[in-house]
Chain A
């Protein structure tokens, strides 16, 4: 079990900056995010876009801002659980919380900070019969551990970079790779598309264009997949794994079940300290709402600072907090 002072749900820009504000007050943070990388919307949706409204940066590329935030919090040694979604929050007798992820990682903390933005980013699922029956039993939405696919028969679906990249990668280790794409051109990098076409010509992968995966079959584990082509013919293929790769989309998910006051998918907070209606749980950044709320990174940063001052009383109940500028001690003195 991981033990920390503050567990931050969401490693978007606001969750990352909260580590800095907490760190100045000597509170340790653990961050958990459903995405395999930090950065939230900035890294997932618009990594290469310039942002113009971060004070001190006339323009900064979104991914550069995330990298700078990581540098800024590095002195506080935050710890991370990535690629896992928080499912459960359980209040302990002493008021602290036990957090459990979908992969059963447990984090014990004094304070929970929800910096969950638009919700957790979840894979877009194609309409395939029995898809959900085989999740974890042959259906995977990301390649976390490539070794799982060694010498196996894999079918991938999709036409973007991740479908192309994983087709190329898995062609080296799987016994058979089939890529099913509903169009006949790829939107991914032209270079990767060329490589995929060339592997198909050499017979090293099976490329099925103008087609969709429509049904799955098996008994306990995926065994067979049905592929429907544009000309209405259907063929069946023996497989071990099906990997649909259609990008990610944010979903509010389990947050809706945590007894928090929610208005139109956002958590209501007290603007004095961004606390929620549940003691020791704060909500900052895009996930919260209050009169006048603006969904801007800048506003989330401000919320993180006020949250940290308030959370201090739960982490160090015996100490009195007196406000000091960062420049008084300098972060490296902490």
Chain B
């Protein structure tokens, strides 16, 4: 099991337990956990609406590639700890990480 923590837009934290080997992205896990995020492009990395901030990362998150950086650059509020949740695969490397939801709400 992989444990991560999600902080929503109100600052409330919730732990999420994800079975190993499910081959989902963090964006898909957030959607499945009923977090309100747009994820307009469905995870293709071309809409930048699934923005998260990495608050803690004890493991090694996959590096940000150029395409992800390009998209993050369209977000005026992005910082050095910003990521697109659809570009992060859920596996043991993200265990213990704390993510804050920054993406636009779908309401």
Contact = CB atoms under 8 A, between A and B. Distances in A.
Interface of A: 41, 45-46, 118, 124-127, 158-160, 183, 187, 244, 246-247, 249-250, 252, 264-265
Interface string B55-71: 00000000000000110
A247 B48 contact: yes
B70 A124 contact: no
B41 A46 contact: yes
B49 interface: yes
A182 to B, nearest CB: 8
Contact of A126 (B46, B49, B77, B106): B77
Contact of A246 (B38, B74, B106): B74
A304 to B, nearest CB: 22
B73 A160 contact: yes
Contacts of A159: 73
B24 to A, nearest CB: 20
B76 A125 contact: yes
A124 B41 contact: no
B88 interface: no
Contact of A45 (B47, B70, B73, B104): B47
B40 A45 contact: yes
Contacts of B47: 45, 249
Nearest to B72: A187
B74 A46 contact: no
A61 to B, nearest CB: 15
Interface residues of B, number: 18
A159 B76 CA distance: 10
A183 B74 CA distance: 12
B76 A118 contact: no
Give the top 9 A-B pairs by smallest Cβ distance, nearest first. Answer: A126-B76, A187-B70, A247-B74, A246-B76, A159-B73, A187-B73, A246-B74, A127-B77, A124-B76
Given A187-B70, A265-B107, A250 B41 contact: no
Given A187-B69, A187-B70, A45 B77 contact: no
A124 B46 contact: no
Given A45-B46, A124-B75, 8 more contacts: A41-B40, A124-B74, A124-B76, A247-B74, A249-B49, A249-B104, A250-B38, A264-B106
B106 A265 contact: yes
Contacts of A46: 41, 44, 46
A87 B107 CA distance: 18
A252 B38 CA distance: 12
A249 B46 CA distance: 11
Contacts of A249: 38, 40, 47-49, 104
A244 B74 CA distance: 11
A141 to B, nearest CB: 12
Contacts of A187: 69-70, 73
Contacts of A183: 73
Interface string B17-51: 00000000000000000000010110010111100
Contacts of B41: 45-46
A249 B102 CA distance: 14
11 contacts: A41-B40, A45-B40, A46-B46, A118-B40, A124-B76, A244-B76, A246-B75, A247-B48, A247-B74, A249-B38, A250-B38
A159 B40 CA distance: 22
A175 to B, nearest CB: 26
A191 to B, nearest CB: 16
A246 B71 CA distance: 10
Max chain A Cβ within 10 angstroms of own Cβ: one of B48, B75, B76, B77: B76
A160 B77 contact: no
A158 B46 CA distance: 17
Nearest to B78: A182
A125 B76 CA distance: 7
B53 to A, nearest CB: 14
A250 B40 contact: yes
Nearest to A212: B76
A19 B41 CA distance: 26
Contacts of B40: 41, 45, 118, 249-250
